[in-house]
Amino acid sequence: MQHVLIVDDSKAIHAYLQSLLEESGPRLSHAYSGEEALSLYPSLGAIDLLLIDGEMPGISGPETARALRGLAYKGPILMITTRNQAADIQHALDQGVDDYMMKPFTRDILMAKIDALKGVV
Amino acid sequence: MLDKDTLVFFAKFIESQTGIAYSEVTFFQLEGRLETIAKQLGFPSVSALAQSALRDGIRGAMKDLVLDLATNNETSFFRDTSLFDALTQHVLPELARQHVHKTCRIWSAASSTGQEIYSIAMLIQELQKSMPSSSWELTASDISERVLAKASKGLYTQLEVQRGLSAQRLLNNFEQIEDTGDGAIWRAKSTLQKMISFKRLNLIESWPSTLGHFSLILCRNVLIYQTVEQKRLVLQQLTRHLEPNGLLVLGGAESLIGLSEEYLQEQVGSTYMYRLKPREQSQAS
């Protein structure tokens, strides 16, 4: 896994994810809104994993995922969310998200989720 | 640094919820875990976390994390990808073909809080879409009444269902419920639960004669904690309950070398299992 795009409006989450992923050493790109992610995407090159906040002002995480799938992004999408209602999870899956993780999450959960998504192309 | 009264406050909470006791000797470990939780929840310090807990009680996300770290949670659904890939691609389909006209029995010995047996149940349900005539009976046992009670109810916290379960499998196999008071908000669906019978069993004591025979027994990461004599005793008993040609699965770091001549080691996918030799072959060796 060489290049990860993090999309979240919270700088603290970007910093936390960076600290958890430092050891495995992927290049990280950062977007602080869905709109910014869509604007940056064409110039980012190949992305191996997208970590996306479920709830952002403006375009939501699932909507951003759907738009990125429309831009032919085929890699794994892991959504990080505060909502764990079954309907919300199913909606995100229907928009092209592959898996989700509730906040707060632990390092072992993040790494296990990422590991499980490695087969997703 | 947290003062002793604060650590006692957390320790008593953990013991009341889980039965796990921290003594003064292990308070440093508890404090380290609380520091991790403080960071995860965005508190500026562990003291700030403690103040919040003392003021408002230990609840919500803090409670989930405190109890999760206290149990040093190492178990997860589909733990060990190579094993579950082997079960999915090789073992379960083979067992399904062999058991069209009879019930295939699988036993998870030392099942702990049930993630292993529920994972197998989920795989079987997925397999039954393409092999509907297969018939299965799952048994799960553990020495601990506490973990067995949790496993039999199929109740899991948000953190627990995120260990090893994809979102789609979660939605397919679990339903959301009101918080049971100890943080559990997901329950295994009845279609899974009715496949499994849960029994209390101490592997190093005598076993009920009604246990029966199994095509597949999983006994993972249990023997490593036993003396050599206990390992041999447990293996003898496990062997008595395996069908001819049955499979025994141990933990990734365990082996039968020096413990039993009754098995052949077999590579299945990228993992190893132990196939019970035919009687005459094991007697000859």
pLDDT digits (tens, 9 = 90+) for A53-109: 999 999 999 999 999 999 999 999 999 998 888 899 999 999 999 999 998 888 888
- What is the spatial order of strands in the sheet that A27-31 belongs to? A27-31, A3-7, A49-53, A77-81, A99-102
pLDDT at A120 over 70: no
Among A102, A110, A114, A118, which would you mutate to test the B interface (most chain B Cβ atoms within 10 Å of its Cβ)? A102
Among A80, A99, A115, which would you mutate to test the B interface (most chain B Cβ atoms within 10 Å of its Cβ)? A99
Residues ≥6 apart with Cβ < 8 Å to B32: none
Task: Tell me which chain A residue has its CA closest to the CA of residue B43.
Answer: A12
Q: Cβ distance B190 to B220 under 8 Å? A: no
| Percent of chain B with pLDDT strictly greater than 70 | 94
Q: CB distance from A111 to chain B under 8 Å?
A: no
Q: How far apart are CA B207 and CA B219, in angstroms?
A: 15
Hunting for tokens 């309950």 — which residue is that?
A: B241
Contacts of B61 in chain A (CB under 8 A): 103-104
B259: amino acid identity, one letter: L
* Least Cα separation, residue A102 to chain B (angstroms): 8
pLDDT per position as a tens digit, B35-69? 888 888 888 889 999 999 999 999 888 887 887 77
| Percent of chain B with pLDDT strictly greater than 90 | 49
* Least Cα separation, residue B84 to chain A (angstroms): 12
Q: Which pLDDT score, from 0 to 100, does residue B281 have?
A: 55
ipTM: 0.85
Three-state SS at B147: helix
Whole-number average pLDDT of chain B: 88
pLDDT per position as a tens digit, A3-62? 999 999 999 899 989 988 988 789 999 999 999 999 999 999 999 999 999 999 999 999
Residue B176 to residue A112, Cβ atoms within 8 A:
no
Average pLDDT estimate for B165-173: 94
pLDDT per position as a tens digit, B241-281? 999 999 999 988 888 888 888 999 999 999 999 999 987 65
Closest CA to B92 of B136, B41, B146, B34: B136
Q: CB distance from A102 to chain B under 8 Å?
A: yes
Residue A112 to residue B164, Cβ atoms within 8 A:
yes
Task: Tell me which chain B residue has its CA closest to the CA of residue A101.
Answer: B162
Residue A112 to residue B163, Cβ atoms within 8 A:
yes
Burial level of B49, CB count in 10 A (0-12/13-18/19+)? buried
More confident call, B254 vs B137: B137
Question: pTM value?
Answer: 0.83
Q: Which pLDDT score, from 0 to 100, does residue A119 have?
A: 66
Closest CA to A109 of B11, B180, B40: B40
